[in-house]
Chain A
Amino acid sequence: DAGVTQSPTHLIKTRGQQVTLRCSPKSGHDTVSWYQQALGQGPQFIFQYYEEEERQRGNFPDRFSGHQFPNYSSELNVNALLLGDSALYLCASSYRQGPEAFFGQGTRLTVV
């Protein structure tokens, strides 16, 4: 049974560029949430997708956007990258917006 998978694992981008991160949820899960984890900090909630709609959003600017596909996979897009966007981006999946969230291994984004 495949767990939550994310791609790529590492990424280096230049300030001002755009980036797309991808997530495949755990088998049987239909809800995807994205989190940003800065070094030495706890994960911060970005948004949650269920039934291909953004259901809940944290305190992140519009530069952060997402999408969920019919197969429940999801993308996180970040435009106009800033140095402060450098972080580990975690995807978590659950069933029917259930609370038990399982995390992927994350994508380490470095903005230079």
Chain B
Amino acid sequence: GENVEQHPSTLSVQEGDSAVIKCTYSDSASNYFPWYKQELGKRPQLIIDIRSNVGEKKDQRIAVTLNKTAKHFSLHITETQPEDSAVYFCAASRLNQAGTALIFGKGTTLSVSS
């Protein structure tokens, strides 16, 4: 089955710096890759996603890139702010009629200091 590895496990940056979180997946049939942000004691929130027919997607300060050949995808946050501090999870899914299970990485704790 699918396995998703996420690095780094912790990341500390200064406010205004950029942050990059990387994930690799094992199942070449996976075709949907979302990123979730989970603040302490709160629910995971979908912040951006990308499908396998697209190489890059941007939403304001957040961008995701996908390299299908290498089977890895990355989250890029520019101009980080203290409110970006949270745990970020990447996930992969094989979208088909059987279901849309999300397989998550172990998470990256991002700390943005002002």
Q: Which residues of A contact B (CB under 8 A)?
A: 4, 31, 33, 35, 40-45, 48, 50, 55-56, 58-59, 90, 92, 94, 97-106
Which residues from chain B contact A104 at a C-beta distance below 8 Å? 43
Interface contact tally, CB-CB below 8 A = 69
Q: How large is the interface on B (under 10, 10 to 19, 20 to 34, 35 or more residues)?
A: 20 to 34
Complex Cα distance, B104 from A45, in Å, reads: 8
Q: Which residues of B contact A (CB under 8 A)?
A: 1, 4, 6, 32, 34, 36, 42-46, 49, 89, 91, 93, 95, 97-107
Q: List 12 A-B contacts (CB under 8 A).
A: A40-B107, A42-B4, A42-B89, A42-B104, A42-B107, A43-B89, A45-B102, A48-B100, A94-B100, A97-B100, A99-B100, A101-B100
A41's nearest neighbour on chain B, judged by CB, is B106
